[in-house]
Amino acid sequence: MELFQTILQLITKKEIIGPVLIVIFGLLIIAIITNATRKLIHKGKRGFEEKRRTTIIELINNIIKYFIYIIMIIFILNIYGVDTRSIIASLGVAGVILGFALQSTVEDFVSGIAMIMDNYFVVGDTVMYNGFTGEVIEMGLKSTKIKKANGEVYIIANRNINAIINLSQQKAKLFIEIPTAYEESHKKVEKILTKVVKEAQKFPNVTEESAYLGIDSMQDSAIHYLIVIVCKQDTQWQTKRDVLKLIKEAYEKENIKIPYPQIEVHNGTNL
C-alpha cells in the first residue's frame, strides 16, 4: 500500500504530470487544427484552386505545428523552474545571429512563402528544372521535391525557384507528323486527318484549338502531313498515343498506305 502511495505521489508531481499533459494537449491542438484546415481543401473550387489550397494549408499547418512545439517547450521548462523570460529574450539575439549564419536557409524560407503566395506552382503541377521534368510532390519551408515519371526525386532549394519552369499553367501542343505514300490523294488524306482531329477533340483533355495544318515535308519515300493537338499539361503522352491509334485505324479503314523506307537496286549499267 505504501509503495502504491509512493508511486501515486511520484506520478502526480507537477514535474511529471505537467509535461505529459502539456504534450498531450499540444498534440491534440495540432490534430484539431490540421483536420479543420484540411477540410477546406475540398470545399468550393476544384482543380488548380484545390491544389493551391492544399499547398498553402500544408505550409500553414507546418508553421502552426512548429509554433506549438516551441510553446510546449517553454511551458515545460517553466514547470522545472527555468527562467523562460531570459530564454525568450535571448531568442531574439540568437535569431539575429542565426539569420546571418543561416542566410541561405532564411532565403529558402522566404522564397517558399513567396512561391506559394505568388502562385509560381503548387503540389501536383508539372515543372522543369535544369532539364529535369516531373511532378511537384512536396513543398516545404526549405526545399521542394519533384518526382519524375520513372520514380526519381529531385530536391530543389526554394531559393532557386526563379530557375523552375511551370508546365502545368499552360497548354501542351503536340505536333504529329504522319508519313503517307505519294500515290495517295492529298485531298483524301486531308479529309481523313481533319476527321481524326475532330474525333480527338472529343477527348476531355483536348481543346478545339487542335487542327490539321497541311503538308509539312516531302521525304524520299513519303509525304509528311502535320496536325497539331492542343491538350492539358500532363496528358500529352497518353493523348499522343490515343491520336496515333485513331490515325492508324482511319488509314486502315480507308486503305491509306503508310510507307516504309525502300531502296531501288539496279542490276547492270543500263540505268
Tens digit of pLDDT for each residue in 155-168? 888 777 777 777 77
DSSP state at residue 13: S
Q: How confident is the model at residue 131 (pLDDT cuts 50, 70, 90)?
A: confident
Contact 189, 216 (CB under 8 A): no
Report pLDDT for 188: 93
Interstrand relation of 211-218 and 223-231 (parallel, antiparallel or unpaired): antiparallel
Architecture of domain 117-166 in this structure: Roll (2.30)
Closest CA to 91 of 74, 106, 105: 74
Report pLDDT for 197: 93
Report pLDDT for 112: 66
Report pLDDT for 145: 85
Report pLDDT for 6: 58
Report pLDDT for 136: 83
Report pLDDT for 132: 85
Answer yes or no: is pLDDT of 153 > 90: no
Q: What is the mean pLDDT of the chain?
A: 77
As a whole number, mean pLDDT of residues 196-222 equals: 89
Contact 146, 134 (CB under 8 A): yes
The C-alpha cell at 179 is 508519313
pTM given for the model = 0.46
CA distances from 215 to 132, 177, 219, 252, 265 (A): 33, 9, 11, 20, 29
Q: How confident is the model at residue 33 (pLDDT cuts 50, 70, 90)?
A: confident
Answer yes or no: is pLDDT of 190 > 60: yes
Closest CA to 19 of 87, 74, 83: 74
Q: Say whether domain 172-253 belongs to CATH 3.30.70.100.
A: yes
Report pLDDT for 42: 54
Report pLDDT for 191: 93
How many helices (H) and strands (E) the chain has is answered by: 7, 8
Architecture of domain 13-101 in this structure: Orthogonal Bundle (1.10)
Contact 202, 242 (CB under 8 A): no
The domains of the chain are located at 13-101, 117-166, 172-253
Report pLDDT for 263: 67
Contact 104, 73 (CB under 8 A): no
Contact 185, 245 (CB under 8 A): no
Q: How confident is the model at residue 29 (pLDDT cuts 50, 70, 90)?
A: confident
Q: What is the maximal distance between C-alpha atoms in the chain?
A: 120
Name the E strands within the chain: 126-129, 132-139, 143-147, 153-157, 165-166, 172-180, 211-218, 223-231
Residues 6+ apart with CB under 8 A from 34: 61, 65
